[in-house]
Structure 1
Amino acid sequence: MEQNKSDYEHILFYFAYKTFNNTADEIIEKYGLNRQHHRFLFFIDKVPGITIKQLLKSMEITKQGSYSALRKLRDENLITEVQYDKDRRVKKLYPTKQGKELVYKLNKAQNDLFQEILKKVGNDWYAIMEEFAAYRSGYKDIKYLKDK
């Protein structure tokens, strides 16, 4: 792969990824939460009963960054912790009704955007990434790399 084409693909992916994430970020910020809360809530919703240890391993993060985010999700009544019967030191995490509703809302926003883009440009990877990237003003500044 040519270096310039690779550079374009990296930057394209960056802008597309930013658009995809910002779709949910704008919603979750209204709840006083951030992207880390969204990620935790998403995993807990998709794997109800996941232990804190499993969650951190799956997400490839350390304990230090997790406790305040998990506490905030508990305090906002978006998740619950249940002690595991066989080992009371182990806590299983479950989404609450409000947590499930928020995950649905966040996923729907991202899914709706993705479907809108698919309808507009079809299934071509470059066309999809370029359409996502086009939502970012900075994409215009690097678009010339595509043709190099």
Structure 2
Amino acid sequence: MEDAVQGKATPLRAVSRDAEACQEIPQEPMFDLIELFFFAYRDFVGDADRLLLRYNFGRAHHRVLYFVDRRPGLAVAELLDLLKITKQSLSRVLKDLLDQNYLEQKLGLSDRRQRLLYPTDKGRALALDLAQLQSRRFARALESLPAGTREQTTAFLAAIRDSAPGETP
């Protein structure tokens, strides 16, 4: 395996003797990738953090707004499951977004106990501003790299994450 930063080969060892379950992991931690990923994430979310400060919002507000904007009509229970958070941790964030008219909540048609979330025009506008800000960072990074890098990056990030049923990469 090629070391991304230093160009050195990283020795690999097998984790399991079972052919189907055999995965190779490096003998040494991939400090170069860990560090690059940490700093890339810091800068990626930092762009949005600076904009969110104007609204007295944080990253939790951004995540909730992002997913409700991308999936209008998302049930609160589905949002909790998607973000892997508790009702308590969502409560304050959701209250802020509802009280300040970035989201609206409606009762489910078939199940009146269900609470469905929708972005307002104001919420869609903020979600779009945040997405455009972060998309510019992606575009800058991709423009200097070879063709096909976006697809490879998408596959790489999808392979890193633990996806749950119903989640899209």
Summarize the alignment of residues 69-84 of structure 1 with structure 2, pairs less than 5 Å apart. 69-84=93-108
Length-normalised TM-score, structure 2: 0.69
Specify the SS of the correspondent of 1:44: helix
Specify the SS of the correspondent of 1:72: helix
Hey, what does 2:21 align to over in structure 1? none
How many Å apart are 1:88 and its aligned residue? 1.9
How many Å apart are 1:53 and its aligned residue? 0.2
Tell me which of the two structures has the higher relative contact order, counting C-alpha pairs closer than 8 angstroms and 6 or more residues apart. 1
Report percent identity of matched pairs: 33
Unaligned runs of 5+ in 2: 1-25, 154-169
Q: Does 1:3 align with 2:28?
A: yes
Q: State the structure with more CA Rg.
A: 2
Between Structure 1 and Structure 2, which shows a larger proportion of helix residues?
Answer: 1
Hey, what does 2:90 align to over in structure 1? 66
Hey, what does 1:106 align to over in structure 2? 130
How many Å apart are 1:23 and its aligned residue? 1.0
Hey, what does 1:19 align to over in structure 2? 43
Length-normalised TM-score, structure 1: 0.79
Unaligned runs of 5+ in 1: 127-148
Count of paired positions: 125
How many Å apart are 1:44 and its aligned residue? 0.3
Summarize the alignment of residues 85-104 of structure 1 with structure 2, pairs less than 5 Å apart. 85-104=109-128
Specify the SS of the correspondent of 1:42: helix
* C-alpha RMSD of matched pairs (Å): 1.8
Instruction: Supply the distance in 2 between the matched residues of 1:120 and 1:25 (Cα, whole angstroms).
Output: 25
Hey, what does 2:139 align to over in structure 1? 115
